[in-house]
Amino acid sequence: MSQRLFDSPRRARWIWTLIVLAVACAAPLPAAGKGAAPPAKRQPADVMSFERAGWLERKGRAETEKPEVVLAAMELREGMTVAEVGAGTGFFSRRLAKAVGPSGKVYAVDIQPEMLDLLKTYAAKEGIANIVPVLGTETDPKLPVHGVDRILLVDVYHELQKPEPMLAHIRESLAPGGTVTLVEYRLEGETASHITLQHRMSAEQVLAEWTAAGFLLVNQIETLPSQHLFIFSARRGARP
């Protein structure tokens, strides 16, 4: 810049004022009402390997997770067709099978065949014959369209690597009047401090993602010791 432009203090101050204004106008402004850039999208946790399947059958799990509360919230009836997505070893699937009785059916979905092998072993030991193991994928639980009355996901949704297409398929598989029950360790507070942060979710995260996917919150229960419990239905007319 030419030195002549600054040949007086008054002119120099005037020019620097113009420069400052130009820089300020060029800077990007935050979106109205936002104040700051939106937070980064939630990153799914790593999928728990079948090599750690013992955790799913650990001693004391029933006492700390209260599966009877979860099943009561699902309002199961004999003869229903239900599914567990991310069934693992079948800790919940076996209980679902007993709740719907011999005339009912449980689709136990997992993406690891080794988990399904363990599930079949545990079910055989208990003499349970109404569980149908299903090898799903990261995007599709392979459930019958409009053919499932109740769907359960326990501490698995946060691990879904591609939640959007999976939720679309889950929604499509619900029979008329069907519901999805979701259980996740709380991110808020200290009740789930024994669980790593990547494997916990806040109610705000869950509701934002499931509402966007075409689901309607029917009930939210906070009586479990360490976990949120949500009941969702498919929102009519929604096209996620």
Cβ neighbours for 223, distance < 8 A, ≥ 6 positions apart: 66, 69, 229
What share of the chain in percent tops pLDDT 90? 80
pTM of the complete model beyond 0.75: yes
Give a yes or no: residue 169 inside a domain: yes
Q: Is the pLDDT of residue 55 over 90?
A: yes
Q: Which two tokens stand for residue 183?
A: 């259980």
Domain count, the chain: 1
What CATH code is carried by the domain that includes residue 139?
3.40.50.150
Give a yes or no: residue 196 inside a domain: yes
Give a yes or no: residue 18 inside a domain: no
Give a yes or no: residue 20 inside a domain: no
Specify the amino acid at residue 212. A
Q: Is the pLDDT of residue 201 over 90?
A: yes
pLDDT value at residue 42: 87
Average pLDDT over residues 56-80: 97
Give a yes or no: residue 99 inside a domain: yes
Q: Is the pLDDT of residue 156 over 80?
A: yes
Contact 70, 183 (CB under 8 A): yes
Strands 227-234 and 215-221: antiparallel
Q: Which has the minimum average pLDDT: 1-5, 10-14, 112-116?
A: 1-5
Give a yes or no: residue 217 inside a domain: yes
Give a yes or no: residue 15 inside a domain: no
Range of the domain at 188: 50-234
DSSP state of 8: S
Q: Is the pLDDT of residue 136 over 70?
A: yes
pLDDT value at residue 41: 78
Neighbouring C-alpha atoms within 13 Å toward the C-beta of 185 = 17
Q: How many other CB atoms are found less than 10 A from the CB of residue 117?
A: 14
Give a yes or no: residue 13 inside a domain: no
